[in-house]
Every structure is written in C-alpha cells, then in structure tokens.
Amino acid sequence: MVLSSVLGFPRIGAKRELKKATESYWAGKSSVEDLLKVGKELRAHNWKLQKDAGVDLIASNDFSYYDQILDASLLFNVIPERYQKYSLPQIDTLFAMGRGLQRPATDSTPAVDVPALEMVKWFDSNYHYVRPTFSHSTTFKLNGQKPVDEYLEAKELGIETRPVLIGPVSYLVLGKADKDSLDLEPISLLEKLLPVYAEVLQKLLDAGAKSIQIDEPVLVLDLDEKVKAAFKTAYSVLAEKVPAAKLILATYFGDVRPNLDAVKGLPVAGVHFDFVRVPEQLDAAVEALSAEQILSVGIIDGRNIWKADLNKAVKFVESAIAKVGKERVIVATSSSLLHTPVDLENETKLDAEIKDWFAFATQKLSEVVIVTKAVNGEDVKAELEANAKSISARASSSITNDAAVQKRVAELGEKDTKRASAFAARLEAQKSLNLPLFPTTTIGSFPQTKEIRVQRQKLNKGEITAEQYEKFIEKEIQDAIKFQEEVGLDVYVHGEPERNDMVQYFGEQLKGFAFTQNGWVQSYGSRYVRPPIIVGDVSRPSPMTVKESKYAQSVSPKPMKGMLTGPVTILRWSFPRNDVSQKVQAQQLAFALRDEVNDLEAAGVTVIQVDEPAIREGLPLREGEERSAYVQWAPESFRIATSGVKDSTQIHSHFCYSDLDPAHIKALDADVVSIEFSKKDDSNYIQNFSDYPNHIGLGLFDIHSPRVPPQSEFEKRIADILAVYPKENLWINPDCGLKTRQWDECRKQLTNMVNAAKVFREKYA
C-alpha cells in the first residue's frame, strides 16, 4: 500500500495560541510552565488532527517556540560563548539567541546585555531562520533531547510519528563563522558534528522510532564539490554508527537534478522530492534511487493556498508508481505546511466562490489522504469530481480576468521603466531638500500600540465612525512627528498608524485580492502575518496613502517620506496566483503603484520610499535561465512603479534579512537605499557596497530586539562603514521599521543613533 505523509505542520495554533503564550512569557506575565503547557497542547492537537485525517506518517519535532534551526543549534550546543556566560535556563538561552536580551541586574541575577544572532530568509520563503554561528571553540554535544522527548510525547498519546531533523550538511551550510573565527569554513566541522547526530538517531531508535525524516534542503542550491562530497561522508558515517536507522532524506523548494550525484548511492531508506515545484525531475529522481529506496512524492503544495488539482496529482503519483512500484511510493506534501495558514474553516467572511478555491494546512491533510486512497484503489470518485468542479470554476471566473489590466501590461514600453535623468542630475535637483551630511531617518513604521489596534477593531466593528477614526490617526501622526522632532531626525515618516501590515494594507485597497480573518503564518519568532491572496488581475481603484502622507507633510516643514511597499514584495508576501507568471503579476502591481507614486508627488510629497525587502527572497535558488530572467523583470517592476516622477523627487527603497547582491540593488536605480546591517559580522559585507553609485544607509541597530545599543556602539559601526564607504553618500538609519518595538525603546535607540551621527557630522564639518 502507498502511504501518506506530511513533512511538518504549522505550530502557531489556529488562534495564534503560541504567539500569545510566548509574548506573555517575555513580558513576565506568565511562567515558563505556562508556556510549556501551551506548547504541549498545540503539539497534541496537531498530531491528533493529522491522525484523525488519516495521515500515515506524521512529523514530530516540527514544533518550535521560536525557530526549528535555532532549536538544532541549542540541541547540538552551538551556542556562542556570549550567551553561555549568563547560565540562563535553556528556554531563555533560546530566546536570547533569537531576539537578544537586555535586562538590569537584580539582587539575585547579574545584568544581561546580548544581541540576537543573525536572522535570514529560509530559502525563497518569507519565513526567517536564525543562522547557526560557529567558531573554532564550538564544541558539539547533546544539550537535551528535544526530538526524543517529543516523539515519546506523541507515543504516549497513542500516535506514532516520524521525527524530523535538519540534516547535518544543510545545518552547516546554512550557518556561518562567528566574528572571531571568520577563517572558519562551517562544512569543515562535519566530522565533529556527526557523532552527535548519530547519538540523536540512536536515542530515537531506542525510543521506538520506525523512521526518521532528515531534511537536506540545500540540495536545491548550487553546491560546490566539497559540499556535494560531504553528503557521502555524512550518510556513510551515520549508516555505520546507526545502521538500523531508517532515514528518509527530504529535499524541497526546487530542482535537485544538478546535485543528484550527491544523492545517488547514499545509504538512506528513501528520498523525498518537491514535484510541485519541479515535476519534470521525476525521471531523474527515479534513476538516482536504488532498487530498494523509497520515492516520497511531494505533490500537495506546502507553500501556497490553492486547492490541488487532485486528478492531476493522482495521475502524477500513478506515473511514479509505474516506474518504481506501489510498495516504494509515499504520497506527501511538497514541504512542511509551516508556510500555510492553519484551517480554512476559521474563515467565515470569505466570498463563497473564492473560498472554494483554497486549501489551508488542515485541508491539505485531506488532499494528501485522498490522493493516497485513489492510487490505492479506494473509492474517492465523489471527492475527485468535487475537486475538478472547483478547479474549473476558478479558471473561468470573472474575478480572475480584467481585460483593461491585461492591456496595460501588454503595452509596457521602455519609457515606463526609466527615470528622466541619471542619478547625478537627480542628486543636484534634490539639493532642495536641504539635508545635512549623514542624514538620519527611520525606515517607516513606529510602534503599533494597543490603543491603535483597539481603535482599528472599533472601526471594523462599527463602534466608531470613519471620521472619528481619521481624527485618531491624525493625532497619532502628530505624535509621531513630535517624537521625531524631539529625537532630532532629519527626514521624517508619518509612522503608519493606519496600517495593519505593510502588504495587507495595500492589498485591501487593490482590486484582485482576497483576505482572511485567521490566515496567519509565521514569519519569525512571534511575528505572524496574514498574507493577502492574489485571486485575479490587479489594479488600483483609488489613492491608497495620499491622504495620510499629505496630512503628515502639512504638519512639519521637514521632508516627509511617503511610504509604499514595492511590487515584488507585495507579490512575494502574498499568496500569488499559480495560473499566471510571477512576472506578469509583478508588472500589474507595478502599474498600480506607479499611479500611487505619481499621486503622492502631485500632493507635495517629494521623498517617496518604495520598499522591496523581498527582492532577494524572490531570486530563483539556482543559476540559470529562470534567475537571469528574474534579475531583469524584478528590478524593472520597481522602476515601472517609480520612474514617472520628477528629478527633484527622491526615491528610496529598503531591503532586509537576506544576503543581498549589490548588482540587483543597483538595477533598481533608487536614489537612496537602506539595508539591514546591524547583525552582519563580516566587514566584507560593507565592501560589497563600497562602489554602490547612489546613496545608502546600512542599518545600525536591530529592530527585532528590545536591546538599546550605547552611543559608542553606533559610533563604531559608523566608523567601520566610513572606512570603506564615502561619507557624502551615507545615511544613518535602523535595520528596518519600528512597528514591533515600544516607544521608550525607540526613543533611546534613535537618540543614541542621532547623537552618533552628530559626532561624525561635526568631525567632517
């Protein structure tokens, strides 16, 4: 019989129970016991849900209080000394590494002041992982036994699970050398790490685990020969040390074919492939397997919310069965369902026609099971017919198609993609802004307080009028501007109090989007987002931000940035259509934003920031035609949005939490860019941007942490940057927006930042 498998399930809870529990613990409002209790309840619920749905192979150790890669670092004792010296409880060490920790001394505890580890995007998703950080002094050893404990926890509930671990090669490749060990190549630590992996595997076997999922997602990247060879080393050692372990090696998010030589012959029980992303790799995948190895067929999309075409999926699995036999096939999700909302049944306000097109994580369990039943010869005719009806209805819906939008994109020309003048001429025209050396600014948002959220809820419930809400927002804008005056910034923002999310806010005002009430997915830690869903061709019916930006500019003579989210980021941070290319969707969004940018300029806003933090995230994972095309159309989409303004209007953009390529940033031709930088340890990262021709601000403090860096730390950062970057071109700013911080934290952080800028302004006066 063919078995069904789910590679992982969302851990956040259908009603964001994990967010509430962790933030309550961080705030000191609940105990660690309270937090652990919520975690245990969520795990039990998720396992039971999958068992009741009929899933055969259910993942355990897919739960985390912050991030699964950070969990692995804690498990393997990859804890830099700066965290170990405080002798914190394990859960607090985890959180300190993930978000930093700063607290004063008490009678019983010493003061703690430690920044977070670097956080970066998980491949091409909007999930962020905490990057493992290695040094010459890293000593691998088991620090607890979380995978075993959670396997036994499920077993006590009568549920057999398949524990999941990040693979040893991927774990090292996804990490980096610490700032005091920059000559260290992480993959060189493999020999020291493998005995600890073997110890975990043996403990899982002793606990009764029948099979173990080992995720090696780096197999979809361009790998050098040293890394490819590491797979042979790693799995040969593990097979020798733990010969009874039945390992299923899992890949996802891309094409494994260029690295199949690293997979072929590995002593593992089977290999999982993502056939949603790359269905054409089936023949090569089968050829790489031995006559005994299992083929796990990832055919239900773990990354998007559209219903699977189940009839098509059944045919694909049947083609796999024809190649290897029924006894060697598993039907699976393409990846963990971490990237999808928990349950469509929680959506009570979605249009019924549109809702019928979706499948969230809970519904995807049924999809996996239906496909499995179909290929096993069970009667699921009614389910397949209902699915076919939904697929057909979506394709022919009037919601999907807008002839005017399609015509505008079809008529796209070179005039739509270039500013009127080169940067030098624009810079001259922008002297009218009267900015000092080292101009200071923030990225856009200020704290979203409880009062803001309460007023927004009152508006949504009809408890206050639109006029009352508008007056409240105007007062919030006034307060934000007064705050910036007091801190001493040079270029202001209005603070975005009216915005719920940097993508959702725009999607709600664009035609072609649908929205959820509870469609939350984890972005990082306790930061969850509700991605909009692009259901049809996109256009802008009316201005979206002009009223608030115009009001803010009227309150102060200082330059006030109009704040927009860029086309690629709106695309990437939404659930995109799967029936139209991402290029076309980005172009449609770009034209909608072009109208907004032009309206902002007409309203007197002369500094406009169009953020593109997801532009690196969208970069195809491998070199090749797809990537070459992306690096053309992605920046072009940005230029479509921004190229209709005068030379005197200054265009900004912002990027964060990715390893950026300066060439991609240069192609945007923004006047000023700001880039997350505070947790970058490698001075070469500054050097990468040393010849960037336009203006740049490398972020000086971590906005995800409550920690307040002292002024001396800011001054050192600025000095390091100025060692390789021209002073005339440098802006001073945080890593990202300040939405998640508290006002008192912002005041202290920004005051130290501004005072540091003044030191250098005086130095070069």
Report pLDDT digits (tens) over 27-61: 999 999 999 999 999 999 999 999 999 999 999 99
Residue 661's pLDDT band (boundaries 50, 70, 90)? confident
Task: Tell me the HSE value of 496 on the side-chain side, using a 13 A CA sphere.
Answer: 25
Query: For the chain, which residues make up each domain, given as ranges?
Result: 3-105+112-342+350-396, 437-448+485-763
Residues annotated within the binding site are 19, 126, 443-445, 496, 573, 611, 654, 656, 676, 736
Phi, psi of 295 (to 5 degrees): -105, 110
Between CA 39 and CA 36 the distance in angstroms is 5
Share of the chain above pLDDT 70, in %: 99
Tokens 């009806």 found at: 389
SS (H, E, C) 578-629: CCCCHHHHHHHHHHHHHHHHHHHHHCCCCEEEEECCCCCCCCCCCCCHHHHH
The CA-CA-CA angle for residues 545, 695, 425, to 5°, reads 85
Please report which helix (H) or strand (E) contains residue 248, including its range. strand 247-250
Please list, residue by residue across 21-41, b when 16 or more beta carbons sit within 10 angstroms of its beta carbon and e when fewer do.
bbeebbeeebeeeebeebbee
CA-CA distance, 282 to 313, in Å (whole number)? 13
Indicate if the pLDDT at residue 683 is higher than 80: no
As a whole number of angstroms, the distance between CA 52 and CA 366 comes to 10
Which tens digit of pLDDT belongs to each residue from 351-402? Answer: 999 999 999 999 999 999 999 999 999 999 999 999 999 999 999 998 998 9
Average pLDDT over residues 563-573: 96
Question: With left for phi above 0 and alpha for psi between -120 and 50, is residue 629 left, alpha or beta?
Answer: alpha
Buried b (16+ CB within 10 A) or exposed e, 409-419: beeeeeebbeb
Binding site for L-homocysteine: what residues are annotated? 443-445, 611
**652 closest CA partner among 461, 765, 492, 531:** 492
- Beta pairing partners, 129: 120
- H-state helical runs in 289-360: 310-324, 352-355
What is the model's pLDDT at position 690?
80
Return the number of other C-beta atoms located less than 10 Å from residue 227's C-beta: 20
> What residues contact residue 563 under an 8 Å CB cut-off, 6+ apart?
444, 493, 494, 496, 545, 549, 609, 611
**According to the CATH classification, is domain 3-105+112-342+350-396 in 3.20.20.210?**
yes
Each residue's pLDDT tens digit, 81-139: 999 999 999 999 999 999 999 989 888 888 999 999 999 999 999 899 999 999 999 99
Give the pTM: 0.89
On the question of pLDDT at 681 being above 70, the answer is no
Phi, psi at 619, each rounded to 5°: -65, 125
Contact status, residue 605 vs residue 550, Cβ threshold 8 Å = yes
| Backbone dihedral angles phi then psi of residue 147, each to the nearest 5 degrees | -60, -40
Query: Which residue stretches of 271-380 are H helix?
Result: 282-288, 310-324, 352-355, 361-375
Dist CA 104 CA 26 (whole Å): 15
- What was the pLDDT predicted at 252? 98
Catalytic residue among 128, 664, 695, 704: 704
Over 20-58, what HEC string results? HHHHHHHCCCCCHHHHHHHHHHHHHHHHHHHHHHCCCEE
- All residues at 6 or more sequence positions from 169 whose CB lies less than 8 Å from its CB, including other chains: 187, 190, 216, 218, 227, 230, 231, 234
In this predicted structure, the answer to whether residue 659 has a pLDDT above a threshold of 80 is: no
**Which of the four pLDDT bands, split at 50, 70 and 90, describes residue 657?**
low
pLDDT over 90 at 552, yes or no: yes
- C-alpha 676/C-alpha 449 separation (Å) is 24
**Residue 109: per-residue pLDDT:** 83
- Residue 229 CB partners (closer than 8 Å, separation 6+): 262
- Helical (H) or strand (E) element with 102: strand 101-103
Whether 704 sits among the annotated catalytic residues: the reply is yes
Note whether 3-105+112-342+350-396 and 437-448+485-763 share their fold. Answer: yes
**Residue list, annotated binding site for L-methionine:** 443-445, 496, 611
pLDDT in the model for residue 194: 98
437-448+485-763: CATH architecture? Alpha-Beta Barrel (3.20)
Rounded to the nearest 10°, the torsion over CA 104, 38, 121, 734 is -30
Q: Which two tokens stand for residue 152?
A: 């036994």
Beta strands in 478-518 (DSSP E): 492-493, 511-514
As a residue count, the chain comes to 765
* pLDDT 10s digits, 452-500: 999 999 998 999 999 999 999 999 999 999 999 999 999 999 999 999 8
**Average pLDDT taken over every residue of the chain:** 95
Question: Taking a C-beta distance cutoff of 8 angstroms, is the pair 664, 673 a contact?
Answer: no
Annotated binding site for 5-methyltetrahydropteroyltri-L-glutamate: 19, 126, 573
Residues 6 or more apart in contact with residue 131 via CB below 8 angstroms:
69, 117, 118, 119, 120, 174, 175, 176
| CA–CA dist 102, 97 (Å, integer) | 12
Q: Return d(Cα 331, Cα 373) in angstroms, integer.
A: 10
The binding site for Zn(2+) consists of: 654, 656, 676, 736
